[in-house]
Amino acid sequence: MAMAITIEDMAAFCKKKGIVYPNSEIYGGMAGFFDYGPLGIEIINNIKREWWKTFVQSREDIVGIDGSIICHPKVWKASGHVDNFEDVMLTCSRCKNKVRADTFIEEQTGIAADGFTVEMINNAVSENKLSCPKCKSEFEKANDFNLMFKTNVGPLQDESSLAYLRPETAQLIFANFKLVSENSRLKLPFGIAQVGKAFRNEISPRNFLFRCREFEQMEIEYFIRKDMFDSCPWVSEVMSHEISVYSAEMQEKGQQQKQMTIKQALEKGIIMSPWHAYFLAINHQWFINLGTRPEHFRIRQHLKTEKSHYATDTWDLEYNFPFGYKELQGIADRGTFDLDQHIKHSKKDMSLFDEEKKEKVIPMVVAEPSLGVGRAFLVFLFDAYDDDKERGNIVLHLHPRLAPYKAAVFPLVNKLDDKAREIFSMLKQDFHVIYDRSGSIGRRYARADEQGIPFCVTIDFDTENDSSVTVRDRDSTKQERVSLNGLKDYLCKKLI
């Protein structure tokens, strides 16, 4: 159904339809920053709401927080971000063009260079005779570049007031860990979730929303007692779930990814932790339940060189973007790294009293599913986008729960405006609907298709007599006569 388009075409479509705009374009734009337009804000709010519903509200074991963007700089010292949150940068000796070294090397040579040290990058550059993509001159020696945005808090603009815009939401969960667990009376295992902005001064932002400097994350830190590592109480629910698996070993041996069930991946020891298996499966299911195609995803294990400074094992849920399989969501196992660090730096007791064991424990993070909202947004748009040649227009087959408007209301002719507005007002009480009276009905259907609106409700000359309207389904284009009395119920059932 969905047609493959490039990321550039997607960006152009989004701008044209009021989904996403390049930031401050009237001043020439600002690389790595984007603004969501009238349709985009609705879609993105729906994505976040669906995520919250699935991963927080429908579970007993996960609660949420909303931490602030700026916090005490010691948080970032303790977490390791001040010292380690770096990418290696290459600078051209002549034109001073800067590129992110690992992605550049991978594009030029196919070598997976994520996690390479400065020395490994310098070696790869000289062995492969790589030069500046702009002017072809040699690169200077590579150097580390810290990705955190700095700012000053308060009137003193010196080192003492230095603070950072948070580069991830996770640390606010750790910093509040003790209070949240006590207030919510949570017992291990449990999770704390957060949705919010993160900022990274990416060296080469690109691929539209995929890599920006300001973006949002939907994250869970899932805590267990160490002896719970081998037993995830819910893994049995996902054993038969099928997914394409690309382990570190498969990558090292040059093999292809393999489709298998979670049960097979666990039994063969490909995925070591049942918790990882569980979170990878339920996140894949979340995307599928919202209308994406299962075969567009795979899970990939990080190679030893790739792992972040805190992680002992990491799997990514990846999506096959037009520019290849790329990380959508990282699921790291952070052990007790973060809580240990915060205990050390804050000198506060962050342990919990475990009722079952009757002892104090420092819980470990067995999984940290961390999903970029913008990347999820792109996945839903790519899977929904369809250049329908028969209709002669684009159709966005967005899942009704993600659609920006649930229905469009049309008077067949302007004379029917009053009656149509009455019906529009009635629907507006319960649904986000849009009113459109301009152009032919065909033109209005096409406009609704392009906005991903699942239903069009047309008021015609018969409406006064039979108290019914015509409802047209976006995906099938089928039309049904629906009585006004039953219209809300009809839409409710269809919009689930």
Binding site for ligand ATP (CB under 6 A): 168, 200, 202, 211-212, 215, 217, 327-330, 370-372, 374-375
User: Nearer Cβ to ligand ATP, position 217 or 470?
Assistant: 217
Residues 298 and 282: their CA atoms lie apart, in Å, by 13
- H helices of 253-366, in order, are 262-267, 274-289, 337-346
Name the CA dihedral angle for 413, 418, 423, 425, rounded to a multiple of 10 degrees: 130
User: Nearer Cβ to ligand ATP, position 321 or 445?
Assistant: 321
User: Nearer Cβ to ligand ATP, position 42 or 214?
Assistant: 214
Beta strands in 66-140 (DSSP E): 86-91, 98-100
CB-CB contact of 181 with 191 (8 Å): no
Output the six-digit token pair for 369.
């599913």
Strand partners, 476: none
CB-CB contact of 398 with 377 (8 Å): no
CB-CB contact of 327 with 318 (8 Å): yes
Minimum distance between the CB of residue 324 and ligand ATP, rounded to whole angstroms?
12
User: Nearer Cβ to ligand ATP, position 46 or 370?
Assistant: 370
Name the CA dihedral angle for 264, 267, 268, 273, rounded to a multiple of 10 degrees: 100
User: Nearer Cβ to ligand ATP, position 202 or 436?
Assistant: 202
> For residue 414, what are the CA distances in angstroms to 407, 421, 436, 456?
19, 11, 10, 16
Minimum distance between the CB of residue 41 and ligand ATP, rounded to whole angstroms?
17
Name the CA dihedral angle for 303, 309, 311, 314, rounded to a multiple of 10 degrees: -30
Minimum distance between the CB of residue 409 and ligand ATP, rounded to whole angstroms?
36
Residue 208's identity, in one-letter code, is F
Minimum distance between the CB of residue 302 and ligand ATP, rounded to whole angstroms?
9
Residues 225 and 181: their CA atoms lie apart, in Å, by 14
Minimum distance between the CB of residue 460 and ligand ATP, rounded to whole angstroms?
46
Tally of CB atoms within 10 A around 49:
14
Residues 17 and 13: their CA atoms lie apart, in Å, by 6
Minimum distance between the CB of residue 201 and ligand ATP, rounded to whole angstroms?
9
CA atoms within 13 A on the CB side of 171: 25
Minimum distance between the CB of residue 209 and ligand ATP, rounded to whole angstroms?
7
Minimum distance between the CB of residue 328 and ligand ATP, rounded to whole angstroms?
6
Strands 364-372 and 393-396: unpaired
Report how far apart the first and last C-alpha atoms of the chain are (Å, whole number): 21
Residue nearest to ligand ATP (CB): 372
Minimum distance between the CB of residue 315 and ligand ATP, rounded to whole angstroms?
11
